[in-house]
Structure 1
Amino acid sequence: MACVALQCAPLSAATLRTATVISASTVKLSDLFADLEPGQDKVLGPAPAPGTSIQVGGGQLIAIADQYGVDWLDQSASALATITRAGRVLDKSYFADLVEKNLPDIGVGAVSVDLFDFHPITVPPNDPKPVVLSDLNWDQHSGRFSATVYRAQPTGDITQDSFMLTGAIHAARKVLVFSHALQTGAVITPADVQINDSYTGTPNAKTYANEADVDGMTLANTVLAGEPVLDRDLHRTILVHRGDPVLIAFSAPGIHLAATGRALEDGGAGQYMRALNLATAMIITGRVINSSEIEVDPGSTAIPSDSNTLRRLTASARANTRADTSLR
């Protein structure tokens, strides 16, 4: 009698699932209630998009239970059930690989793919082919590409079911990289660099492919092993300083002349600089051979060393030195 008066629920009454993760594209009654009667389970409607959730409040839960004859323990208008659809995130690396696989076979070898204004998407976790790449257009001169991506399982939202993928494709090339980490001020030797024949990075500065081009140059920044050798990271090691005595050499077929001079500006190995010929009081331009010698090219023209010219050259050399120092 007491049980009848209290309207006790039967022993087989269902229980509410307050949090459920599903992988199907539809929500079933069993996603909301456990311990249903055999054959009682039904499809209620479409599931949320992969990676998202829906919440079902107490009033709606009571209405669903009444509609499908579910005896629900602890019915309450304040109850809440959350259904989350499992998802797999397709990130930059996924789409970069997809683009690479869809490139035409033109013998470019290894490539790297950069994506512009990219936003990851979430798809069903067990779908082996969740998206389709279509209409790939690649300008091999600039490296830029565009393509359209379609979801294999549309969500019904046209803003989500397809989108434009854009970026740049960079073919592998031969680049000089650092063999090990080096500190600012280090003077580069051939042991400090090595060739990477399949570099696919995208440095936005000049790179090198020949050890001789950087031998003897000085690092302006600290670098790490494997980083490309960039022009912006290097400056010429100063061999001749302004005011230093130098030997001025001139060579032509059957002729070799030498004179003493004084450097009017700093100069690095192989760099052209100006010097004063002390014997003729003329200003010449020559290429730095070592710390005490510069070589004048045949056809080079000397200019008179009047006081105004010397003052202007000295001021220019000082300004260049200050600018070079500030860049380091």
Structure 2
Amino acid sequence: MRRRGVIAGIFAAGLIATSVVHSQAATLRNASVITSGTVRLSDLFADLEPGQDRPLGPGPAPGASIQVGGAQLLAIADEYGVDWLDQSPNAMATITRASRVLDQAYFADLVRQNLPELGNGPVSIDLRDFHPMMVAPDDPKPVVLSDVKWDQRSGWFSATVYRGQPSGDITQDSFMLTGVIHAARRLLVYAHALPAGSVISASDVQIDESYAGHIPSRAFTEEADIDGMTVTHGVVAGSPVLDQDLHRTVLMHKGDPAMITFAAPGVHLTATGRALEDGGAGQYIRILNVSSSMIVTGRVVNASEIEVEAGSNPVPSDGNTLRRLTAPARNASRADLSLR
């Protein structure tokens, strides 16, 4: 019985020794991503013993990383009894804090929520000197807006942004948010892209009933106002038709011969004239009636016709005006000598 008890004791000791020898050692995590603000032992080492995991200290800011070098890793493993395979002073572990990005769309929506006077209509909110912000992915209220101010006349607004979970760095925990808010309006936009020099027709533009983008200068709202005008530079589809983008396409140049027409109920008159200034389609310019030497104002119909409306008052031309007009004509064609 005594011998049998000794053997049982030796066998039991053998089992214990075997379990120690064959226990699985921890392995280093060369890179890990954490979601909380605290670094744990398991963020550095995998395969820890049950109950061995514990917090080590504060983690990096959302989106940032920290590195733990070999000497520090050895010290941590020694302090917490981690049996670590392949221990080396050259080892390195990188811990990155998970994050989500608060972009321009997020802050524009936040501004709108804080300005109920904007109503439910479409607006555009352009942020100035904006930089995206990294926050914890599980933070339900990562930032708060304070002191929101909006000048409805100019559209300028400003607000102070505070982190919901301060990091302790005053330069990162709050900043000024500024920009411009544009209310929606009805205007013309380009239906498709056009290169510089294109002459616009009705098929090149369309009405946007609720355009909310930034408009730096006068914008057109009617197709009739821009028909026949020329694009001064390339434009893209959907952009507003602005005064600065266009110039009137010259159909009639100063000195060009033209037919003057006058129409009224029961009356239709024509006369020979000569333009005194450049004019585009639909533009009103002055023209000399060659037969009467009177100056009238009419609307450019095409490259060779000026239409004078009822109520237009002709004025006499002086000798200087006539000489300025006929001098280049004499050089151009002897047939024009009849105008003297």
TM-score category, normalised to shorter length: 0.7 to 0.9
Partner of residue 19 from structure 1, selected from 19, 31, 40: 31
TM-score, with length taken from structure 2: 0.80
2:42–2:48 Cα contact (<8 Å) kept: yes
When Rg is computed on C-alpha atoms for both structures, the one with the higher figure is 2
SS at match of 1:37: coil
1:164 CA displacement: 1.0
Distance 1:99 1:46 in 2: 32
Question: Are positions 1:150 and 2:162 aligned together?
Answer: yes
1:58 maps to what in 2?
70
TM-score, with length taken from structure 1: 0.82
Question: Are positions 1:304 and 2:304 aligned together?
Answer: no
- 1:203-222 Cα offsets, whole Å, 9 max, x none, are 32321111221223233334
Partner of residue 293 from structure 1, selected from 299, 306, 313: 306
Identity %: 63
Residues 256/302 of structure 1: CA separation in 2 closer, same or farther (3 Å cut):
farther
1:202 CA displacement: 0.9
Partner of residue 113 from structure 2, selected from 75, 95, 101: 101
1:188 CA displacement: 2.8
Residues 307/292 of structure 1: CA separation in 2 closer, same or farther (3 Å cut):
closer
- 1:82-131 Cα offsets, whole Å, 9 max, x none, are 11111111111221122122222354611000000111111111223221
Range 87-96 or range 45-54, more displaced: 87-96
**5+ residue gaps, structure 1:** 1-7, 315-328
2:30–2:94 Cα contact (<8 Å) kept: yes
Distance 1:90 1:103 in 2: 19
Equivalent runs, 1:233-248 vs 2, <5 Å: 233-248=245-260
Distance 1:275 1:301 in 2: 11
Give the counterpart letter for 2:318 in structure 1: P
Distance 1:299 1:277 in 2: 13
Equivalent runs, 1:192-271 vs 2, <5 Å: 192-248=204-260, 259-271=271-283
2:275–2:286 Cα contact (<8 Å) kept: yes
SS at match of 2:116: coil
Aligned residues: 307
1:67 maps to what in 2?
79
> What is the Cα-based RMSD across aligned positions, in Å?
3.0
- 1:46-83 Cα offsets, whole Å, 9 max, x none, are 01001111011111111111221222222221111111
1:230 CA displacement: 1.8
1:321 maps to what in 2?
none
Distance 1:155 1:309 in 2: 82
Residues 123/106 of structure 1: CA separation in 2 closer, same or farther (3 Å cut):
closer
Distance 1:14 1:186 in 2: 72
Distance 2:192 2:97 in 1: 48
Distance 1:125 1:191 in 2: 48
**5+ residue gaps, structure 2:** 1-19, 329-340
Give the counterpart letter for 2:137 in structure 1: P
- 1:275-317 Cα offsets, whole Å, 9 max, x none, are 3332344555544344312427645644414179728x98xxx
